[in-house]
Amino acid sequence: MRTMAADAAGGEALGETVRELREAYERGRTRSLAWRQAQLRGILRLLKEKEVEAFQALHKDLGKHHAEAYRDEIGLLIKSANGALQQLGKWMAPERVWVPLIAWPATAQVVPEPLGVVLIFSCWNVPLGLSLEPLIGALAAGNAVALKPSELSPCTARFLADNIGMYVDPSAVKVVQGGPDVGEHLMEHRWDKVLFTGSPRIARSVMAAASRHLTPVALELGGKCPCIFDAMPGARDLQVSVNRIIAGKWSSCAGQACIAIDYVIVEERFAPVLIKVLRSTLKRFFQEPEHMARIVNRRHFDRLSGLLRDRAVAPSILHGGSMDAKNLYIEPTILLNPPLDSEIMTEEIFGPLLPIITVKKIEDSIAFVNAKPKPLAIYAFTRDAALRRRIVDETSSGSVTFNDAVVQYAMDGLPFGGVGQSGFGQYHGRYSFEMFSHKKAVMKRGHLIELTLRYPPWDESKVTLMRYLYRFNYFAFVLSFLGLRR
| Residue 50 confidence (pLDDT) above 80 | yes
Apex CA 66: angle with CA 62 and CA 69, to 5°?
A: 65
Rounded to an integer, the average pLDDT of 164-176 is 98
- Average pLDDT over the chain reads 93
Which residues lie below 8 Å from residue 292, measured CB to CB, with a gap of 6+? Answer: 63, 250, 251, 254, 286, 332, 352
pTM for the structure as a whole: 0.92
One of 227, 258, 267, 348 is an active-site residue; which one? 258
Give yes or no: 225 in active site: no
pLDDT classification of 233: cutoffs 50, 70, 90: confident
One of 220, 225, 267, 348 is an active-site residue; which one? 220
Longest CA pairwise span in the chain (Å): 85
Who wins on pLDDT, 156 or 104?
A: 156
**d(Cα 432, Cα 426) in Å, to the nearest integer?**
7
Q: pLDDT, tens digit, for every residue of 367-398?
A: 999 999 999 999 999 999 999 999 999 999 99
Question: Phi, psi (5° rounding) for residue 377?
Answer: -150, 145
Q: What is the pLDDT of residue 3?
A: 45
69-77 long-range CB contacts below 8 Å, 24 or more apart? Answer: 69/128, 72/126, 72/129, 72/252, 72/253, 73/126, 73/128, 73/129, 74/47, 74/128, 76/129, 76/133, 76/409, 76/410, 77/43, 77/47, 77/128, 77/129, 77/132, 77/133, 77/136
Who wins on pLDDT, 473 or 226?
A: 226
Apex CA 294: angle with CA 290 and CA 298, to 5°?
A: 145
Are residues 335 and 357 in contact, defined by beta-carbon separation less than 8 angstroms?
no
**d(Cα 392, Cα 263) in Å, to the nearest integer?**
19
Give yes or no: 123 in active site: no
Q: Measured in whole angstroms, how far is the alpha carbon of residue 319 from the centre of its chain?
A: 31
